Structure formats: structure tokens, C-alpha cells
Structure 1
Amino acid sequence: MDILQNFAAGIAHLASPEVWLFIILGVAVGIVFGAIPGLTATTAIAMFTPLTFALPRYPAFGFLLGIYCGGYYAGSIPAILLKTPGAPGNAATCVDGYPMREQGLAGKALSLSVTSSMIGGIFSALVLLFFAPLIGKMGYLFGAPEYFAIAMMGMTCLAGVSGKDLCKGIASGLLGLCMAMIGQDAITGMTRFTFGSVQMISGISLIPGLIGLFAVTEVLSKAEEIGREKKGTITDFKFYPPKLADYIHIKWILFKSCLIGTVIGAIPGTGPTISAWMAYNEAKRSSKHPELYGKGSPEGVIACESSNNAVTGGAMIPLTTLGIPGDSVTAILLGALMIHGMTPGVTFVTNYADMLYFFFIVLIIANLFMWAFGLLGSKLFPYILSVPTQILMPFVIVMCICGVYAAASTYYNLFLIVILGAVGFLLIKAGFSMAPMVLGFVLGNIIENNFQRALIGSNMDPLCFFSSPLSIGIWVAAIVLTTWMLVKNKQSNAMDAKLNSAKGADTSAEKD
């Protein structure tokens, strides 16, 4: 009965036209940002989260989840049209999407992409509905040692988001932890890393930290590329309505791809890049025509995009039930939930059950609007890609400044985003990734506070972190997860090296 009441309460929040308006607006914003290479859903949510402060929580999260769904899909648009993925999660789509465009099937590739993304997003939303409450019931078993173990398991996922250089990924994650420690200690009241500045006693807030590391860093990176952008040809693409037959004969590939995306999304710190490549490899392995993959196979596009968008609902499971972000976007949503007065974690399902069902319903609605916009806008997307960088980047930086200043009305935060953006840009130039840093930054306070609480509650006994079967199980899972991701990273790097070698051979052959 409680489930039905909470479900009804979640639906009731959709009675306001304002919620529907912001869902539609969020999907549109997400598609625009996702379709511009470099300006991902993460950048869009980091930019627009401060603008939701004045909104009630339901329109605010309808807007943010709309951006989430639209942005994850839209990265496939430049991947198909220009062989330039809008986000790392859409890189696998280039393998078959771009050859389809070269064969004159760009409209079909775009249609398959948005329809597969819609199917994957709705599949993961249904999984969120059925499994998130079950996981949330375990919440009462969690104390400070278990929370610390969960947060450390999130940090072990650095192995999955560090890219090709694990050492640099670990260094980036540790730097994020140091950023989280700036300011006053929540337990002892001592100040750290303030350098005598009164303003730094409050530390670095989530919003300026995330906007500086993501949005401003992206602006600086794109500004450096002005004059060197890859040019694409704008042509008139035919509209290709989705056909059920395209999906029925590969229903098992589609199901496995959605399942892979949801499971990978539910593992903290992984994200759509790993899921898309895993789904692509599995689809190719089980296909009746694996020789067509890489030459314009519709199955390849369907597998990548369904898995990519299935991450959205999957990543919401650890966010809402454990307070652990599943990827960089949900790391920002974690901050948004806290700012709107809700604490994600093991009590979220019981304290905010109506919000959990609201999330589930909004994800389904957002995916349906994303599907409609994707089909109707297939002729306009190439024009979005033609916006000059020198016009776009000033607009983005102005939005960042306005959003951060609106959050706290202090020039200190403006100073922070400039410094963090410059630091992030230099780190990217040095081969470091922002994802591990953000992971460390978001989880830093959870790790530190629960570490201290566990030790104080156990009279400084370090064995308290292994005092319950649950905490021991979490530590074992963290070790297994880390080992699995290290193996997958090694396999991915070997595959990349093989692909690069093949491309080099093809280039040499063309020159000859």
C-alpha cells in the first residue's frame, strides 16, 4: 500500500504545468549541449544547476533530469555526422554511425540512435523503480564504518575513470580529496589549507567547484581549438521513421545492451564510456554478421546508444540509495539534491519516497520527449554543429559567471571558478582527467567525516571498519570491482592500440 501511495504522490507532482515545461526545456537544452562536441550533459547540468535554486524542487529536478537524458543521447549526433563524439560515451557510436552517413544513411543512423537511446533510458528507469526501494531497505544496517567503506568503494572506481594512465587518475583523485578538505573540519572545527583567508574557511562549495572543473575547463579547452575545428558538410538529411522490424530481429542484442548499460551505470564511478564499448563488443560477438561491424552496421549503433542511455537510470540507483554518484553527472546531481534540502543515502527511499518515484516518472517522460525531439530535429542538428566556437564560448562563460554569482552572491566564488578552471585546463594538458578529481572532491567529505565518526564511536579502534559482515562484504566488493575494472582497462587499452595500429596501416596504404 505504501508503494502505491508513494507512486501516486510522485505522479501528483506532475499535475503542475510548470513541471512539464521544465522537463521539455531541460531535454531541449541537453540536446543542444550534447550535440556540441565538448559541451556534454555534465557541462550543461553544472552550468544550469545554480539557476534552479529559486525553483521548487520538482520543476528543478524535472529540468535537470531532462538535461541528463537529452545530453547523453545527443552526443551521438556529431559522432554520426562528423565522426567526432559529443562525449566520451558516444565514441563507440562513431565506429558504425559515421560509415552509415558515408553510405547516405545519416537519417537512418540518427533515427536508430535516438530510438535506441529512448529504449535504453526507459529500460533503466523501470529498473530504478523496482530495485532502488529494495536496496534502500538495507539503509538501517549502515553506520559510520559502512558509510566509510561505501565511499572508499566509490574511490576505488578511480580505476574505471582514470583513462589510460592509472597513476595520473589516482593523483587526480587525491587532488580532489585535498580540495574537499579545504576549510573548517566538521568534527574538530580546525581549519586546513586556508592560507590565512577568512573566505576559505567555508571551503569550496559544490557548485563553484563543479562549474570550475567542468564548464570553465571545457571553455578554455575549446577556446584553444579555435581555428582548428573539424569542419562538417551540412546537407539535407531524409527523415527515417523508426521501424519495429529494425529491433525485433535483434531483440536479444538490444536487451543485453540495455542490461549492460544499467548494471554498469549502477556501479559508482564507471559511466557510459565503458558500457557503450562493452555493449558493442558483446553485440559483435553474438551477431550473425559480425563482419559488418565497423562498416556501417545498424546493430552497432543500436547497441552503443541503448547501452549509453541505459546508464542514466542505473546511475541513479547508487545516488539515491547509497549517496554515491554513479558518474560525473550524478556527482553534480548529488550536490543539487543537497542544495535543495535532501540528503541522498540509505534513508532517501524512506524519507523522500515520492521524490524517488518522481525521478522514475520524469526519466520516462524525458526519454519520450527526447525521442520526439530527436526525430523531428534530424534535419536541424547539422546547423547546431556549425555554430562558431568564438561565438559559443563567450556565451557559455557568461552563463557560468551568472550562475555561480546567483548561487551565493559573492565574488569569492567567481575567483574560485577562474582558478579551478585554469588548474583543470593545465591538468588536462598534462594528461590528467577531471572525472577522478570530481569523484574525490564529491566523496571527500563523506570519507573524512565518517572515518572520524567511526573511530570516535569505537574508542579509536581501527578494527571497527571490519566489525560487521556488511562492511566486510563492501570491502571485498571494492577489491573485486577494482580488479575487474583494471582488467577491463587493460583490455580496452589493448583494443585502442590495435585500432590505432590498423588506422596507421590504412593511412600508409592510402599514401602509397
Structure 2
Amino acid sequence: MSTGLGNVASPWVMIFLFIGVIIGMIFGAAPGLTAPAAIALFLPVTYAMGPTTSMALLLGIYCSGYFAGSIPAILINTPGAPSSAATALDGYAMAREGQGDRALSLAIWGSFLGGLFSLILLMTVAPLLAKVALKFTSVEYFSFALAGIVCVAGISQGSMIKGLAAAFFGILVSTVGLDPVSGVGRFMMDQPNLMGGVSQTVALIGLFAISQMLLLSKHGEQHHAILPTQQRASQLAVLGELWRNRWLSLRSAVIGSMVGVLPGTGPAIASWLSYSDAIRTARPGDRFGKGEAKGVIACEVSNNAVTGGAMVPLLTLGIPGDPVTAVLIGALMIQGVHTGPFLIQQDGGLFVSILVLLFLSNVLMVVVGLSGRGLMSRVLNLPAAFLVPAICLTAVIGAFSVSNNAFDVRLLLIFGLVGYAMLRLGFPPAPAVLGIVLGPILEKNLRNALTVSDMDPSVFVLRPISAGALLVTVGLLYLWLGPRRRSEASKT
């Protein structure tokens, strides 16, 4: 332990940790420039570094990058990453009520709590959770993805039918490209650029950013009436609000950590599941989708709790929990470190260093985030004539940077027009994004599970974990759809 603490105490380690937090904040806040992209971009820089210094830079990017996506989600309804799409539902509504600074503060402290909880989890029960994660097969992944799709019922604040239609549109979009099992092209329209499917990031930016800018440009000079002057939030009041919602924060942290432990998932799924859980336990007077602080808390605690959770299979099994940890494996291999069951025994000093660096990354994220939130909120004071073209230009750059392909820019404009039409017709874009994110997981694991079981669908209810997830799904449908059916019946 003393070796690990001594390595972190180096001035160069702290300098690169701070640099990593700043880089992660910038990349996370820029639509299209996500934390995985930042880590992949700066991975070559670590060649000349030692293991602790390289981990300091990359973990700083990792932690702050997951939080920073909430900055544009709250201020301009443009999620910086798919994991921040759920945050935009209530965060932007709070900004439109002059509570943008409060929403940002809740996001910062919520992210810190989520990261801290997952760090404690990593320290204490990492091997046990890793063993549980190994028991998950395609059957369990399908059932959990289906439960995520049911979240549509919770996030559709208007017409339930329109919310479900938007979700199925997202699932349809996710099927574009080569079939994951047979390799046959689907809905490609003779476009080779669609062989790999539609980029989730491009679709996200188009549905949220471009559509919102088109809607904003329609209002023109009314921009300041839509986005009022933001009230300065008291940090003591924000902490008090988090304390009052401590059980919601705890549940969201558990959800985020467990999702992080499951290989191949990620913060986007964690955010939607936590948001769904928050709606399920809503009290009379809660305004989910219209500026409810609980929505921001649930999403931000959960998506940052993924960071420590995803490190569990990485450090104990050598299996990446999400795209970022897949890159981190490469960074450790560059340093001659091999992850797996023997890492903690053979290189305990590095394990301690990683734990300390994760904690310091979350602390620096709070310091940088709170210090810069005043500057962040000033974007709302820009006239629409400057704000709209600036965000559109940033969105185009972000879409192009995903794969350096001009086709993605055209795709961005198409999704922007689709998102604008959805907004004008009353179809919420958020369920569509959820369908795009969960669609591939749903389809691939459904087909794999049926193939392994000789096309026997009973496998989904015979496995206990899958049966529990399906039971929760049925319960959520009953809780959300039942009252609406009774309400509609009473009106007729």
C-alpha cells in the first residue's frame, strides 16, 4: 500500500491527473467528442510514461469525461454523450426555469457521489461482483435490455403511443447495416457507409442538437424569453437536496455500479435504468420531464458510478466493462502490466494507485466543475443569432470526428430534420435515442439466446436472473400503463 501511495504522491502524477480532468471536461462537453475518443486519442502520449503517470492522465479523462456530457445537456439540450441524454430531460427544463446553475451543481455533486460509491465497491467486493457478472449470458442481457426499453413508458410524459412509436423507430434505426449473425445487409439503400450501422453519436447529436437549434431558430429574437437569466445556486442547498434524496442516490449508485460490472454495457444504459427507477418511485408533485431535480440526480449518480464498476472486471478478470476500459487494457499492456485474477496479488501497489487516482479524479472533477460552472452558464446569455450557428458548427465537427467521414455529416442533418419533425408533431426524441442504444443489445442477445437453446423461448423464464428482470418489466408496465388506461377510461 505504501508503494502505491508513494507513486501517486509524485508531482508529475498530480500534474497529469489535473491535465486529464481538463481534457475529459472539454471532450465530454463537446457533442461527438466523447471520453472514449479522448482516451484513444491520448493513448500514444502514455508510451513514454510510467504505469502510474499514464493511469493518472487516462483516469482523469475517464471520470470527468463521463460527467461533462451533462453540461451541454443541461444548458442547451444537447447531450455531450449518449449517457447524458436522460439528464437533458429534466436538466434543460430546469435551465429554462432559470435553475441551470442548480442543475449543474446537482450533476457535479451527484457524479462525485456515484464515483465515490463505485470506488468503495471496487475496493471491497470486486472479486465477488466479477464472479456474478460471469454468470450473465445472452439470456440475461436480453432481459435487461428489454427492461430498458420499458423505460420508454416512464420517459414519455405525453402520449404513451407516441413515446412507444419513437422507441420502435430507434430500434428500427439500430437494425441498419450488416446483420450481426448472418452478415446480410439490411436497410442500407446501397450505401457502403451504412455497413457498420448508424453511429449512435451522430444520431444522438442530430436528434437533440440540430433539432433543438432548428426549433430555437424558429423563435429567433424570443431566445432570451425561452432561456431566462440563471439564478446562482447555493452549494449548501444543493448538498441538502442530495441528502434529502439520499435513498434515490444510493439506488442510482447501485444501478450504475452493477451495470458497469456487466461487460459490454455502459453509462447510457445505467442512466436510463436509474431514471426509470426514479419515476417508478415518484411522489405526488414530482415533475419528471418538466424540471425535476431528482431526474438529474438519478442520471448523474448512475452514469459516474459506472466508472468504478467497469474497473471491476478489468482489474479482476481482464475483461473490459465498457469501451473506455477496453482502451485502458491497452494502456496497461503498453506498460507491461497484465490485468486479470493475479493483478492485485502481483502488483498490489498499482492497484492501490488506481484506487487513489480514481478518488482524486472525482475530487478534481468537483473542483474544476464548480469553479467553471459560472462560465458554462454564460452560454445561455448568447443571442440565438450566435448560439445556433456556433452549436451547429460544433455538432458538424463532432459528427465528422466520429469516423472522419463526410457521410456522417449528411446523416447528422437527416436526423436533425427527423428530430425537428418529431418535436413539432409531439413525438419525444428521448425514447428514439433509447431505442438506438438498446436495439443492438436487444437483437443480438435475443438471437444468440434462442440459437443456443434450440429456439426454445422458455429459457428466458427458466433462468432466475432473467426471470426476475422480466418480472420487473411486467411490473413496470402495470404500474405505468394501468393508471393511464384507467384515466383514459374515466374520460370516455
TM-score bracket, shorter-length normalisation: 0.5 to 0.7
1:146 paired with 2:140, answer yes
Secondary structure (helix, strand or coil) at the match of 2:458 reads: helix
1:413 match: 408
1:23 match: 21
Aligned mates of 1:91, 1:223 — CA distance in 2: 17
Distance change (3 Å), C-alpha of 1:372 and 1:465: closer
Secondary structure (helix, strand or coil) at the match of 2:42 reads: coil
**What's the Cα RMSD here?**
5.4
Query: Which residue identity lines up with residue 304 of structure 2 in the other structure?
Result: G
1:392 match: 387
Structure 2 counterpart of 1:184, from 178, 184, 209: 178
2:164 match: 170
Query: Which residue identity lines up with residue 207 of structure 1 in the other structure?
Result: T
2:444 match: 449
Of the structure 1 ranges 125-134 and 271-280, higher mean CA displacement relative to structure 2 is found in 271-280
Deviation at 1:423, TM superposition (A): 0.9
- Which string of whole-angstrom CA distances, capped at 9 and with x for unpartnered residues, describes residues 381-418 of structure 1? 66443122322232222222223323323221111111
Within a 5 Å distance, the mapping from 1:343-382 to structure 2 comes to 364-373=359-368, 376=371
Distance change (3 Å), C-alpha of 1:304 and 1:448: closer
2:244 match: 253
Aligned mates of 1:356, 1:174 — CA distance in 2: 43
2:304 match: 313
- Which string of whole-angstrom CA distances, capped at 9 and with x for unpartnered residues, describes residues 322-347 of structure 1? 9xxxxxxxxxx9666678889xxxxx
1:425 paired with 2:420, answer yes
1:198 match: 192
2:61 match: 63
Aligned mates of 2:340, 2:208 — CA distance in 1: 30
1:440 match: 435
- 2:5–2:352: 8 Å Cα contact kept in structure 1? yes
Aligned mates of 1:7, 1:453 — CA distance in 2: 45
Aligned mates of 2:482, 2:304 — CA distance in 1: 27
Distance change (3 Å), C-alpha of 1:94 and 1:389: closer
Aligned mates of 1:474, 1:6 — CA distance in 2: 40
Deviation at 1:55, TM superposition (A): 2.3
Aligned mates of 1:376, 1:261 — CA distance in 2: 26
Deviation at 1:123, TM superposition (A): 4.9
- 1:120–1:309: 8 Å Cα contact kept in structure 2? no
Aligned mates of 2:60, 2:230 — CA distance in 1: 34
Deviation at 1:483, TM superposition (A): 2.7
Query: Which residue identity lines up with residue 262 of structure 1 in the other structure?
Result: A
1:210 match: 204
Aligned mates of 2:433, 2:353 — CA distance in 1: 27
- 1:148–1:450: 8 Å Cα contact kept in structure 2? yes
Distance change (3 Å), C-alpha of 1:460 and 1:172: same
Distance change (3 Å), C-alpha of 1:236 and 1:474: closer
2:475 match: 483
Gaps of at least 5 residues in structure 1 are 34-42, 80-85, 286-299, 323-332, 343-347, 495-512
- 2:27–2:34: 8 Å Cα contact kept in structure 1? no
Distance change (3 Å), C-alpha of 1:54 and 1:182: same
Of the structure 1 ranges 18-27 and 186-195, higher mean CA displacement relative to structure 2 is found in 18-27
Aligned mates of 2:6, 2:474 — CA distance in 1: 40
Secondary structure (helix, strand or coil) at the match of 2:222 reads: coil
Aligned mates of 1:452, 1:111 — CA distance in 2: 41
Secondary structure (helix, strand or coil) at the match of 1:270 reads: helix
- Which string of whole-angstrom CA distances, capped at 9 and with x for unpartnered residues, describes residues 91-126 of structure 1? 79789x97xx9xxxx99x799858854764455444
Aligned mates of 1:126, 1:198 — CA distance in 2: 43
- 1:72–1:308: 8 Å Cα contact kept in structure 2? no
1:474 paired with 2:466, answer yes
- Which string of whole-angstrom CA distances, capped at 9 and with x for unpartnered residues, describes residues 440-496 of structure 1? 212222222222222332333333334x433xx4233333245347636888999xx
How many residue pairs match? The answer is: 432
Secondary structure (helix, strand or coil) at the match of 1:157 reads: helix
- 1:174–1:437: 8 Å Cα contact kept in structure 2? yes
- Which string of whole-angstrom CA distances, capped at 9 and with x for unpartnered residues, describes residues 344-401 of structure 1? xxxx997999999999767644543344345545765664431223222322222222
- 1:65–1:362: 8 Å Cα contact kept in structure 2? no
Aligned mates of 2:460, 2:443 — CA distance in 1: 13
1:459 paired with 2:454, answer yes
Aligned mates of 2:222, 2:329 — CA distance in 1: 44
